[in-house]
A and B are shown apart, each in its own frame.
Chain A
């Protein structure tokens, strides 16, 4: 009776879930009618990570998060949170998880503190004797202590977002699943929330943070997963992705075909010719050797450059779309 009655679409018997992963999914899929919102997503969020779940609006991040939390029933696939299969283990595992899903939502005619009291009252695992202290501490931590007694309807968007964060840290949490937590915050509020997330992570919590802001990922995340049109197109530690951003040599010349032949002979890969330039991935080949070979082959070189793409270019190449890099 205690479990969420949203049944798993199929219970794969004997599947084991890696204990070192805070969030793990296999083939998680959601179709709404004929539209595929989330397509066979295999998430792997290591414990202790700050995982940036990056993707443009409408790429399936929120639907994935709703499936992870048992709000939406997957069309196919399975997943586990903190090593516990969902949704069967919802009653056991969800109290250890704080969540912010698609923006804050509270009763407008109750105060911030009263709204938190209601959520705490709904949690069968919460101790009523410590409720007042935990509510006060959570409000304090998000900077809402002064507005605790004010009605929610009078809160600004930034205050509402903070209250939702306070709800997410109302009890000790091992995992925080936060959907766009800095949405609607001014630059100062954004900095404060990022600092809060960093300190929560430092205390040992795993953070799954969905965002459409690449800068957010670059500033606070250790890992990143990139969603594009319902698919998880990349997933890796951020450092690994940065390292894999391979340097590319670019030769400006009016004889690109000859330049391309030289580059291939040197062992460069992914060589591409354009009207007045040739490019190729350097790999282990030192750039000075490329220049020497070009000169030796009497290819007229008008310009030569080596460039490694930054993260944004990398993600654009993965998704074919840009990210909002403001904020």
Chain B
């Protein structure tokens, strides 16, 4: 039933795409099509929620499309349903936002058809049950999002971003192809059910795990495969950026969960170590990149890299626990990972919508040119603040709830017997704590510079609030962030069937706890109650406000800023984003980014200005991509001579290759 309807919904999205191509592009039709996308998303969302909450058994079906002797196998189980929830809530919010926002797009016809296909592709990945369908829908998702990235193709930067994205997507799919090749074995069982029941040799399964990590990690943005993400995500229109960052990365995480936790069977101990190390490095590196970024949307994209790292740390912990048969600990870590994935989809979509609103209101993405938006765009400023609090893992919002669970998982890990893990996990915990603290600093910087202070340019002082639909979508997401933050028990219970499917056990039921506490293992170990923290904060705030207003003077006078007696009217005297990040750059950047500050101070009396030059290097780009680029350049330069040969030489070349191939074949057999 759920599967059947989901298929129809995907088909409906395809029709929306066709309709969008055919129909005239008036604002009215665009609104209608986005509304249709929102409606379809909400239907799939409801189906997925029902499937998850009733703990319905898995459903399968087979469609007579695709390869003739296989067909397309589809399946919905708890894992699919949970990720459908994430994808379609994000899809619904983005479509709602786009009802207002998408109308102002310069060429809507370049966006809307691909947008619908993109949604359809992501939904199809989640219900694919054989390798062919999975790969085909994965490519649908990649290519449609590529088309969205280059929708503003006149901008040179966007085209370049699209090119890098296409390369990385092709690389990822290639790795995925190899994964399924390894799993299918010599007999070519392309169905997931056959892969699941087959027993894989340990070396083969290990290779498949690494390849799956590369394939899904390149889509999700794991370091060092993240380079495309901060280029491509911001290039798309903001509602698509939100979908790519908030939702598509979750589809990639789904791919990893599906392959490694579901299809590969029992993990080896080093799998957890690899995933943990890469996750921890990605989290810290991502947020450090974000700290020094001045483009608002690109900063958010780097923060996505960080959060994906956090999710993978949770998955790595779950793998480590699963290997050692620590079922309840594995369930805790896995729940933390999927909970964080859900949370990230909520607050990252919210923040991208906010960035879109800022872009719409000011025409500017560079935070150094913004400032004072809290006065001109008060509602956007309010929701963006909520998003910043949530993503900085501050209680009682949702980001904290999932990070809290993850830290509880780390505290359970001394019982792991392998020394490699024992030594690595505390270090990963420290990296995670560092990433959380840096995220706080990063969002204080972004919010403080863009929304507070005085306007740094005319476009910032003349900003205007966005339309009602866009604001509605942002408030909806903020409400979701608050709700999942104060009632984390509901999400943990909803994720119980998912953890059972992935690691075989689930966390204890939370809703039955007194006062709606969340208690991962036992009350004597740890507990947290978002609702009460919220109530406590509300109570103490009210007490403080009432007391102050009763006893204190309520006189208030507006005056120029004090600033130690020397206020300066020039907005350029404010702290900039670069100056805010400078101390952190000196602490962390010198080792990671080799930041160098060169001060050129003219002699007294000289008329030239003083200069400060700050240089930074991207270590990953330098170490990997620049070298690959150099190698490709070198080889293609060398092969260039082959372009100018005579016909005789070409023929003899072909003949030689033929002989070599025939020889190879005869020796092989």
User: Are A and B a genuine interacting pair, yes or no?
Assistant: no
A→B interface (CB under 8 Å): none
B→A interface (CB under 8 Å): none
